[in-house]
């Protein structure tokens, strides 16, 4: 596709606004690299409204010192106007990078950035364990504190910036200030960053437009209590905060909640709109919860309003009665923690399915499971399911237990239209799913086809193998 | 009996277009004019030629009808239509960007900007200058200064496959050490993890090998398949 225009340079004639829009769609390295095109282009990138530094994806071989220098350089040169998003993902925990990190956040605060993500985690996907942090970065205590400060008192942020940025900010006509940030920030995400209870309280009190809060791997967080003023929060994700004991919030706008951690006192007050729940449990047993009964204990009071339920839990031998999930449309079960799928697992899963009368779609994602002896009771039909239309079974290997389960669903889900059998592995990362390769894909696919061939024609047409 | 409300648009070169109101309202600019009751006569659009305006109207028509009938047109079909639609001459593309910006048609602006971004991706500055006829007006000293200012942006990145290989090794290792992997992943680091089923010498061996493996990954050396296979052969009981 060769696009040849006349000899005119039309792209340079576009406004800074439009050009920075285009650059925001590029990786940061390419975007900044446009500075070399011509004089007109030299500072176009400094108007970008999105800055993303993903050390794993974009700078895998960069040493952490160089990475820190790079981000700080960009922060110094960027005009700080219209910055909507700042995402930094990197894994250095040497304390010489901490003053830099303070700077980056101070910069984002002063620009009134709507979405800030700081991910200092040492893990990326299934691989990439980069070493244990010796020190973990902690947010400076005054960053979200507002108590009696005057509106224009931005000194405590300016002290973190270098003189260049500070001058830039004080000279630009724009009203930078604490107020901008606190009312502009919509989305905060901190992973492997130390926040304490007071920090979170400050965030919830002062960031009045906050719609999403994600806190992951923070062992300094013990309790979140915010019940006197309703939060605008729509999405709350708390993962791996192992020291937590209490979560009490008044969040009438909460729609999505994701949780992975110890069993705690949870009071989500007034969450009439909570429809999307994701629960994952750790494998280490001890006193930490696992299994569907944990989900029942902690969250069954919300069951009747849920529309989407994602669970990555260990399966257990016995279940109590599952309260009705009268609105559940989508149920996803990730079996990453179940290395052995037994009949009892599937009995448990089917009891959740049967407790969801309007369930439209069910997904079962098995993960590198091993064949087992198949004990623990048989799948007994509890009556037909009148609504279930779509089923997805991933990680399929053709084991007898999977065949039994698929057959059970085909027999009992009388409205079933489509059953998709996927041979790759799908696993849950946070609240999103990712795909991993199945080394025995050819064999699995063959098994799936065999299964399909062996069915009656009306059932056969419902199956799709991919 | 409802008559479909129409608005009249007049391009810079005098062409007249009669468009359904709902379609015209895909343009936030026109929507504003309609809502302010300024749209009784033909709306003049001095910044858009007839040719471009007809394309914009085409886009709006396609995208209004899809949002109407509850996405009966699947997302894939719409995407395919967009790809076809945007396959135009570079000059037309820039005209569309400016029109989409002026008329405030977000979807079209996103589509056109993404198209230009895709053209820039993974090309050298020389290639990009050639493609868009950008003239390099830096003096050699200036160019040197710019390169120095943002040196990191001009480093050649090595796309190595070590990352992929490391992934594969870790996967097979992780499979065997599922328990420990999960413990580590959960950052369960604050207390002692009792491993009832593993004797201390086996545990030492496992930890030793894990350390070696991690160090190997850190120093970006060749993936150590031998380490992994040695580990798998260990009689792990955890």
- pLDDT tens-digit map of A342-379: 667 777 788 888 888 889 999 988 876 766 655 545 66
* Residues in A touching B179 (Cβ below 8 Å): 283-284
Residue B144 confidence (pLDDT): 93
Taking an 8 Å cut-off on Cβ atoms, the answer to whether A35 and B174 are in contact is: no
What are the C-alpha distances in Å from B218 to residues A129, A137, A246, B117? 9, 21, 38, 34
When pLDDT is averaged across residues B186-191 and rounded to a whole number, the result is 49
Whether the predicted pLDDT of B89 surpasses 50: yes
Determine the distance in angstroms separating the CA of A91 from the nearest CA of chain B, rounded to an integer: 12
When pLDDT is averaged across residues B88-97 and rounded to a whole number, the result is 93
- Phi, psi torsion values for B201, nearest 5 degrees: -75, -35
Whether the predicted pLDDT of B185 surpasses 80: no
Question: What's chain A's average pLDDT?
Answer: 81
Q: What is the pTM of this model?
A: 0.79
Cβ atoms A191, A118 nearer than 8 A: yes
When pLDDT is averaged across residues A66-89 and rounded to a whole number, the result is 89
Cβ atoms A362, A422 nearer than 8 A: no
| Least reliable range by pLDDT among A122-131, A384-393, A438-447, B40-49 | A122-131
Taking an 8 Å cut-off on Cβ atoms, the answer to whether A284 and B121 are in contact is: no
Of B89, B133, B150, the CB nearest to A9: B133
Residue B229 confidence (pLDDT): 37
Residue B230 confidence (pLDDT): 37
Whether the predicted pLDDT of B223 surpasses 50: no
When pLDDT is averaged across residues B159-183 and rounded to a whole number, the result is 45
CB distance from B216 to chain A under 8 Å?
Answer: no
* pLDDT tier, B228 (very low <50, low <70, confident <90, very high otherwise): very low
Whether the predicted pLDDT of B210 surpasses 80: no
Residue A32 confidence (pLDDT): 94
Q: Which residue of A has its CA nearest to B194?
A: A286
Residue A11 DSSP symbol: G
Residue B167 confidence (pLDDT): 35
* pLDDT tier, A93 (very low <50, low <70, confident <90, very high otherwise): low
List, for residues B15-25, the tens digit of each pLDDT value.
999 999 889 88
Per the model's pLDDT, the better-predicted residue between B217 and A208 turns out to be A208
Whether the predicted pLDDT of A302 surpasses 70: yes
* pLDDT tier, A273 (very low <50, low <70, confident <90, very high otherwise): confident
| Least reliable range by pLDDT among A435-444, B56-65, B79-88, B140-149 | A435-444
- Quick one: residue A305, left, alpha or beta (phi over 0 = left, psi -120 to 50 = alpha)? alpha
d(CA A52, CA A55): 10
When pLDDT is averaged across residues B6-19 and rounded to a whole number, the result is 91
* pLDDT tier, A130 (very low <50, low <70, confident <90, very high otherwise): very low
Taking an 8 Å cut-off on Cβ atoms, the answer to whether A3 and B131 are in contact is: yes
Question: What's chain B's average pLDDT?
Answer: 74
Residue B226 confidence (pLDDT): 36
List, for residues A199-258, the tens digit of each pLDDT value.
999 899 888 899 999 999 888 999 999 988 899 999 999 988 888 899 999 999 999 999
d(CA A359, CA A122): 38
Per the model's pLDDT, the better-predicted residue between A14 and A404 turns out to be A14
When pLDDT is averaged across residues B149-174 and rounded to a whole number, the result is 55
* pLDDT tier, B194 (very low <50, low <70, confident <90, very high otherwise): very low
Residue A436 confidence (pLDDT): 77
When pLDDT is averaged across residues B28-47 and rounded to a whole number, the result is 85
Taking an 8 Å cut-off on Cβ atoms, the answer to whether A5 and B137 are in contact is: no
* Residues in A touching B183 (Cβ below 8 Å): 283-284
ipTM: 0.75
Q: How many CB pairs under 8 A join A and B?
A: 165
CB distance from B189 to chain A under 8 Å?
Answer: yes
Per the model's pLDDT, the better-predicted residue between A123 and B125 turns out to be B125
Determine the distance in angstroms separating the CA of B221 from the nearest CA of chain A, rounded to an integer: 12
Taking an 8 Å cut-off on Cβ atoms, the answer to whether B190 and A219 are in contact is: yes
Residue A235 confidence (pLDDT): 94
Taking an 8 Å cut-off on Cβ atoms, the answer to whether B170 and A129 are in contact is: yes
* pLDDT tier, B105 (very low <50, low <70, confident <90, very high otherwise): very high
Residue A317 confidence (pLDDT): 54
Who's near B202: CB < 8 A, 6+ residues apart? B234, B235, B236, B237
Who's near B238: CB < 8 A, 6+ residues apart? B177, B179, B180, B195, B197, B198
* Residues in B touching A41 (Cβ below 8 Å): 134
When pLDDT is averaged across residues A34-38 and rounded to a whole number, the result is 93
* pLDDT tier, B227 (very low <50, low <70, confident <90, very high otherwise): very low
Residue B164 confidence (pLDDT): 37
CB distance from B211 to chain A under 8 Å?
Answer: no
Residue B175 confidence (pLDDT): 44
Whether the predicted pLDDT of A129 surpasses 50: no
Nearest to B77 by CA among B88, B87, B63: B63
Percentage of residues in chain B with pLDDT exceeding 70? 61
When pLDDT is averaged across residues A9-19 and rounded to a whole number, the result is 91
Taking an 8 Å cut-off on Cβ atoms, the answer to whether B178 and A339 are in contact is: yes
Residue B69 confidence (pLDDT): 53
* Residues in B touching A37 (Cβ below 8 Å): 125, 128-129, 134, 136
Of B129, B138, B187, the CB nearest to A217: B187
Taking an 8 Å cut-off on Cβ atoms, the answer to whether B101 and A18 are in contact is: yes
Taking an 8 Å cut-off on Cβ atoms, the answer to whether B97 and A34 are in contact is: no
d(CA A153, CA A173): 17
Taking an 8 Å cut-off on Cβ atoms, the answer to whether A3 and B184 are in contact is: no
DSSP conformation letters of A408-443: HHHHHBTT--EEEEE-SEEEEETTEEEEE--TTHHH
Per the model's pLDDT, the better-predicted residue between A247 and A463 turns out to be A247
Determine the distance in angstroms separating the CA of B6 from the nearest CA of chain A, rounded to an integer: 31
Taking an 8 Å cut-off on Cβ atoms, the answer to whether B134 and A61 are in contact is: no
Structure tokens at A38: 């011509």
Whether the predicted pLDDT of A128 surpasses 50: no
Per the model's pLDDT, the better-predicted residue between A66 and B192 turns out to be A66
């Amino acid at each position: 596709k060769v696009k040849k225009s006349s000899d005119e340079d039309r792209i340079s004639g576009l406004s800074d606004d439009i050009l920075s829009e285009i650059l925001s769609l590029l990786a940061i390295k390419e975007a900044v690299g446009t500075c070399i095109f011509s004089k007109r282009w030299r500072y176009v990138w400094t108007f970008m409204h999105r800055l993303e530094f993903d050390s794993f994806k974009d700078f895998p071989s960069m040493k952490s010192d160089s990475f820190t220098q790079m981000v700080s350089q960009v922060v110094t040169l960027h005009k700080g106007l219209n910055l909507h998003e700042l995402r930094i993902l990197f894994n250095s925990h040497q304390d010489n990078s901490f003053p830099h990190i303070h700077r980056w956040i101070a910069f984002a605060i002063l620009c009134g950035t709507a979405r800030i993500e700081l991910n200092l985690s040492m893990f990326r996907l299934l691989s990439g364990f980069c070493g244990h942090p010796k020190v973990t970065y902690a947010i400076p205590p005054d960053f979200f504190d507002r108590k009696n400060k005057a509106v224009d008192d931005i000194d405590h942020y300016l002290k973190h910036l270098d003189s260049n940025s500070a001058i830039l900010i004080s000279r630009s006509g724009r009203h930078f200030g604490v107020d901008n940030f606190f009312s502009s920030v919509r989305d905060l995400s901190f992973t492997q960053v130390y926040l304490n209870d007071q920090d979170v309280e400050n965030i919830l009190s002062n960031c009045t437009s906050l719609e999403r809060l994600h806190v992951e791997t923070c062992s300094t967080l013990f309790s979140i209590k915010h019940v006197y003023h309703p939060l605008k929060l729509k999405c709350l994700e708390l993962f791996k905060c192992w020291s937590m004991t209490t979560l009490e919030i008044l969040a009438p706008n909460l729609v999505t909640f994701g949780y992975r951690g110890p069993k705690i006192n949870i009071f989500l007050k007034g969450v009439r709109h909570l429809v999307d729940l994701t629960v994952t449990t750790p494998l280490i047993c001890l006193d930490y919860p696992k299994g569907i009964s944990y989900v029942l204990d902690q969250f069954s009071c919300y069951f009747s309003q849920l529309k989407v339920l994602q669970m990555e839990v260990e399966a257990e031998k016995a279940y109590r009665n599952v309260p009705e999930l009268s609105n559940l449309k989508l149920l996803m079960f990730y079996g990453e923690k179940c290395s052995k799928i037994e009949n009892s697992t599937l009995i448990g899963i089917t009891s959740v399915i049967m407790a969801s009368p309007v369930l439209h779609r069910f997904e079962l994602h098995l993960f590198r499971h091993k064949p087992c002896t198949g004990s623990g009771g048989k799948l007994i039909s509890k009556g037909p399911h009148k609504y279930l239309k779509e089923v997805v079974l991933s990680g399929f290997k053709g084991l007898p237990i999977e065949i039994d389960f698929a057959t059970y669903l085909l027999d009992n889900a009388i409205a079933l239209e489509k059953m998709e059998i996927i041979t790759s592995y799908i696993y849950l990362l946070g609240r999103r799913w990712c795909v991993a390769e199945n080394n025995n894909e050819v064999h699995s696919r063959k098994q799936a086809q065999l299964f399909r061939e062996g069915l009656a024609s009306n059932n056969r047409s419902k199956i799709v193998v991919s | 009996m409802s008559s479909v409300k129409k608005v009249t648009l007049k391009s810079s070169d005098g062409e007249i277009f009669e468009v359904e109101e709902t379609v015209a309202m895909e343009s936030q600019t026109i929507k504003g004019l309609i809502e302010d009751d300024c749209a009784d006569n033909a709306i003049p659009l001095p910044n858009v030629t007839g040719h471009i305006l007809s394309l914009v109207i085409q886009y709006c028509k396609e995208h209004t009808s899809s949002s109407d009938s509850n996405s009966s047109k699947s997302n894939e079909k719409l995407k395919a239509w967009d790809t076809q639609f945007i396959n135009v001459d570079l000059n037309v593309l820039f005209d569309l960007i400016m029109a989409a910006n002026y008329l405030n048609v977000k979807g079209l602006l996103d589509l056109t900007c993404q198209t230009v971004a895709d053209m820039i991706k993974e090309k050298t500055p020389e290639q990009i200058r050639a493609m868009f006829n950008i003239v390099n007006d830096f003096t050699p000293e200036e160019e040197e200064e710019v390169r120095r200012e943002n040196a990191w942006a001009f480093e050649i990145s090595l796309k190595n496959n070590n990352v992929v290989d490391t992934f594969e090794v870790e996967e097979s290792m992780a499979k065997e050490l599922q328990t420990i992997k999960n413990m580590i992943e959960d950052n369960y680091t604050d207390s002692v993890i009792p491993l009832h089923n593993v004797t201390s010498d086996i545990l030492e061996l496992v930890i030793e090998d894990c350390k070696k493996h991690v160090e190997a990954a850190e120093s970006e050396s060749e993936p150590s398949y031998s380490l992994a296979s040695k580990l798998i052969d260990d009689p792990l009981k955890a």
